[in-house]
Structure 1
Amino acid sequence: MTTLQKPASGNWNMDTCASSHLNDSVSSLSDIFNSCIYLSVSVGDVYYILITNSSHSVLPISHRPLHLNNVLTTHNIVKNLIYVRQFVLDNSCTVEFNAFGFFVKDFLTRWVLLHCDSIGDLYPITKPSIIPHTFLTSLYTWHQRLGHPESEVLRRVLSSNSISCNKENSPVLCHACQLGKHAKLPIVSSHTSVQSLFDIVPSDLWTSLILSRSGFKYYVLFLDNYSQYVWVYSLVNKSDVLSKFVLFRDFIRTQFKCGIKSFQCDHGSEYNNHAFNKLFSDNEIQFRFSYPRTS
């Protein structure tokens, strides 16, 4: 014959089959009522046990209290039982069981409110398990997970208990944010001076957003630094830049009786190629390239 021991005071057990919260003593409860809505309850062997009181109780945890409403008190039970269905409804939470214990999580945020280990046949509410330090999530990790928000946004999310982290509450200094939010260095004003027409001719190739009826997709610009006049030529292909430059050079020779001394452009292949370099070398035109990634 086996003798069943009385439960320890305040030792609750999660029970998915119970239809009410049951407790053996009023000593661990609060808001005790002398009356109750049930005079007795039926246990597993269809035996009825007397109910003496009804009351409310609270499970104090660090995040927020978990309420046990309408607890029925009887001296004829062996284990204090928590009616899981009523528990999740009253506390807006979920209870997840596994082979090692159970988790109580906030229904909306999925924040872990309670985690208890279980090595026996039941799921008792014991001293909450300590989360190993290796599983604690730092503020910096949440900053990365949430898409690198500003520190103020991260603090608001943290204060709403929507995320959990360890004690690292210092301001987040993210190297990726520093690089991503860097502005380009200012372009230093040029001190190059020109004394006459066509001392320096900057050029650039642009792509048209709309294809013209004649099939032109690009246009090339030639600017005279001295007069600030600009000439524009339409192109079908990028490779036509060289032929347009030859037309522009011949126009300068005919109309202004002078030649181009320096030509400035970017490192695009339409400029920096063998044909352009040979033309400039044969005509003693200086090639000037802009710095990479600058206008």
Structure 2
Amino acid sequence: MDTRASLADNAGILTSFSNSSIYPSVFVGNGHSIPVTHIGHSFLHTSHKPLHLNHILVTPHIIKNLIFVRKFTRDNDVSVEFDAYGFSVEDYQTQKILLHCDSTGDLYPVTQQPPLQTPVVLVSFSFTTWHRRLGHPGDDVLRRLESSNLISCNKSKLPALCHACQLGKHVKLPFYSSASSVKSLFEIIHSDIWTSPIPSESEIKYYAIFLDHFLHFVWVYPLHKKSDLFDNFVAFRAYVNKQFNVDIKALQCDHGGEYDNTRFHDLFRQNGIQFWFSCPRTSQQNGKSERMLCTINNLIRTLLFKLTYLHLIGWKL
């Protein structure tokens, strides 16, 4: 930093310059005159904004490059504060420190800060290689990294299906389609219970379904409480015996407590009915019942929404 003029020892540090100067020479501290060959402009890089250095005189014989403090503060609207340990350049309006340089000697040297640059990986690899090296991210993550110039890919094709991702990211092994085959009615009955979050006007909060594997016909039984399931199953079995002249051979259901109890076990053992539970927390093994519950609930919600809409617009049913 200097209080008289901005001087540089060569034009190579300037961003722009001209060969002519209105100052043919300048006098330095020892009284000698040194020639001025060029005049130009440059700037200092900071983490906030570049600081302009205007009207720099190029004198090849100068020992130190100098910054004219008075012009520097006017051109950049900043203030410079000196102390025993260095100096700070602050924005005059916001008082934010833009540049701080330490000084251990008699002068106040300016420590040039390199411009911030986004790190770029210079080596190009295929998407498959980056997919493996970065911990197997998704395709969209790799695309964003490439568009941000954080990685460079020599092939635009996305990686093929990754076997390691299939094994490492899924929480369950895939369930295969059931191979169960029946040849007549009521060989297998699928059953499940739905619990409604809101009771109906008649205080019914549950309903049970019995789905025939052969024809996919379904029977629905409303329940006030889950313990009513046993009596409704007995009634359904009597209906099947009377109307179709057959008996139920097997029941497939989840592992809920409403099925796994003494009354059901005794009934099935005494009548030779097979009883199949799905494994705990594997609703997929009771998929036919689960999908039927979803279909029925969609139907019920649709009807309720339609009835609500008709009521709001004043239609009478």
Determine which of 145, 155, 168 is the counterpart of 1:154.
145
* 8 A Cα contact 1:143 1:149, kept in partner: no
- CA change 1:235–1:68 in 2 (3 A) is same
Letter matched to residue 78 of structure 1: K
The number of residue pairs the alignment matches comes to: 221
* 8 A Cα contact 2:8 2:64, kept in partner: no
Deviation of 1:127 after TM superposition, in Å, equals 9.1
Aligned to 1:243: 231
Q: TM-score, normalised by structure 2?
A: 0.49
Query: Using the alignment, how far apart are the partners of 2:163 and 2:21 within structure 1?
Result: 59
Deviation of 1:73 after TM superposition, in Å, equals 2.4
Letter matched to residue 64 of structure 2: V
Query: Using the alignment, how far apart are the partners of 2:283 and 2:103 within structure 1?
Result: 64
- CA change 1:237–1:168 in 2 (3 A) is farther
In the alignment, structure 1 residue 78 sits paired with structure 2 residue 69: no
Determine which of 271, 288, 297 is the counterpart of 1:283.
271
Q: Which has the higher relative contact order, 1 or 2, with Cα contacts under 8 A spaced 6 or more apart?
A: 1
Query: Using the alignment, how far apart are the partners of 1:276 and 1:38 within structure 2?
Result: 109
Identity, in percent, stands at 31
Query: Using the alignment, how far apart are the partners of 2:36 and 2:141 within structure 1?
Result: 56
Query: Using the alignment, how far apart are the partners of 2:23 and 2:257 within structure 1?
Result: 90
* 8 A Cα contact 1:55 1:70, kept in partner: yes
Ranges in structure 2 where 5+ consecutive residues have no aligned partner: 25-34, 77-84, 86-100, 116-128, 288-317
Aligned to 1:124: 111
* 8 A Cα contact 1:218 1:234, kept in partner: yes
In the alignment, structure 1 residue 216 sits paired with structure 2 residue 204: yes
Give the 3-state SS of the residue equivalent to 2:54 in structure 1: strand
Query: Using the alignment, how far apart are the partners of 1:218 and 1:286 within structure 2?
Result: 25
Query: Using the alignment, how far apart are the partners of 1:155 and 1:26 within structure 2?
Result: 38
Query: Using the alignment, how far apart are the partners of 1:37 and 1:147 within structure 2?
Result: 63
Deviation of 1:38 after TM superposition, in Å, equals 10
Ranges in structure 1 where 5+ consecutive residues have no aligned partner: 1-14, 40-49, 61-65, 91-98, 100-116, 129-137
Largest Rg, 1 or 2? 2
Query: Using the alignment, how far apart are the partners of 2:23 and 2:234 within structure 1?
Result: 104
Give the 3-state SS of the residue equivalent to 2:16 in structure 1: strand
Determine which of 252, 258, 264 is the counterpart of 1:270.
258
The CA deviation string for residues 156-207 of structure 1, in whole angstroms up to 9 with x for no partner, is 12x2xxx5x7x99998879568755799746425342233x32211112223
- CA change 1:56–1:221 in 2 (3 A) is same
Q: TM-score, normalised by structure 1?
A: 0.52
* 8 A Cα contact 2:211 2:219, kept in partner: yes
Deviation of 1:149 after TM superposition, in Å, equals 3.4
Aligned to 1:190: 179
Deviation of 1:286 after TM superposition, in Å, equals 0.4
